[in-house]
Structure formats: structure tokens, C-alpha cells
Amino acid sequence: LNFRNAKFITSAAKISQLTSDDGAEVAFAGRSNAGKSSSMNALCGQTNLARTSKTPGRTQLINLFDVGHNCRLVDLPGYGFAKVPIEMKEKWQRSLTEYLEERQSLCAVVILMDVRHPLKEVDQMLLEWAVASNLPVLALLTKCDKLKSGARKAQMLKVREAVMVFGGDIRVELFSSLKKLGIEHLSGFIEQQCYA
């Protein structure tokens, strides 16, 4: 796959507005501000492919990026962010759920969690759902530059242990967009899933 030449395709509020549902899509999901958009930029070696922000709730639509061979990356709105009006929140959560449940080309999920605050209730719900839907998961512990190497390794082992209760195919790796750490795990996972 050609991550370096990834191209923005479209933004949509509902799945009916998305491009045709063939080929393979890997969705990037996680709580608001977890670092989804940043990880996509780091993977693709582009600074402004997906919009990032210090303010949680930046990504409000489903954004699709083409990486060739009929494979797409999907930047999803973050879940569980409280500081937006309730109607708006419900609207995104609806489009998020709709995407996850109805998109046929969805073949794998990358779940991003801040290494300092992993496995919140919403993350656990998403993991449970992915396993029940037979979707392979890569759980990335993001912003790992915020912890010293011993502490982040310990955190990774703790999370690996904790996700065993879900069963299914869940891999856990450390990631930092800032320090470009763990990118090979992300690219390897996506290639494996898209060509599967």
C-alpha cells in the first residue's frame, strides 16, 4: 500500500454519503483527543492529511483516505467527548454506530487509547463489539512519548493482559506520532488486513 501517497477522498455525516462500499477499509476509532488523526498523518508521512487539534472533538465527520489497491483508511469522530451540545453528540454517535455496523468493506479496526488512560468504558465497549463482529483489532497506546520507557512498557504489558478477557484477535502496541514510534506495527497491521 502506498501510505505516502494517501489521498483524501471524502467526508460524510452518514454512510449513505460515502463512496461505494467495496474493497477494504480500516477504521481508526477511539476517544476524542486520543490521537487518531495524528496517527494517520504519522503513518502517511504527511502533516496535514487528517486535521488534528488540541481541542477534543476536532473530527466530526467520517473521513475517508485512499491508500491504493481499493483500500481506504477511515478517520472516525472521537467518542465520549462531553463538551459538545447533546444533540450534536448524539448525531455523531449515531453516524459512528451506523458506520461500524453497516459498512461491508470495514475489515479491521485500530483502537487508539492514550497510554496514560487506556481501556475506559467506551474503549471496552468497542473492543467487545469488534470481537463480536469478528474484526481484528490493533490497539495502539498513543502518546507513549509522555511516559518513560520502563513505564510505557509496563503499561503495554498490563493492557495486553487485560484485553485477554475479550478473546478475539486483539494486538496491543505502543505508539507515538510525535516520536514516530510504532509506525511499523500500524502499517504492517493495515497491509495484512487489507490483503487478507
Q: Which stretch binds Mg ion (CB under 5 A): 59-67, 79-87, 100-108, 184-192?
A: 59-67
- Least Å distance, CB 22 to ligand GTP, is 26
Which C-beta is closer to Mg ion: that of 88 or that of 157? 88
Residues whose CB is less than 8 angstroms from the CB of residue 87 and which lie 6 or more positions away in sequence, other chains included = none
Q: Which stretch binds ligand GTP (CB under 6 A): 26-34, 121-129, 147-155, 163-171?
A: 26-34
Q: How many residues bind ligand GTP (CB under 6 A)?
A: 24
- Least Å distance, CB 38 to Mg ion, is 8
- Least Å distance, CB 195 to ligand GTP, is 26
What is the C-alpha separation between 177 and 166, in angstroms, rounded? 27
CB distance 59 to 7 below 8 Å: no
Orientation of helix 183-194 relative to helix 36-44, angle to 10°: 80
Does position 35 interact with ligand GTP (CB under 6 A)? The reply is: yes
Locus of grid cell 477494504: 24
Which C-beta is closer to ligand GTP: that of 23 or that of 124? 124
Closest CA to 45 of 4, 100, 85, 83: 4
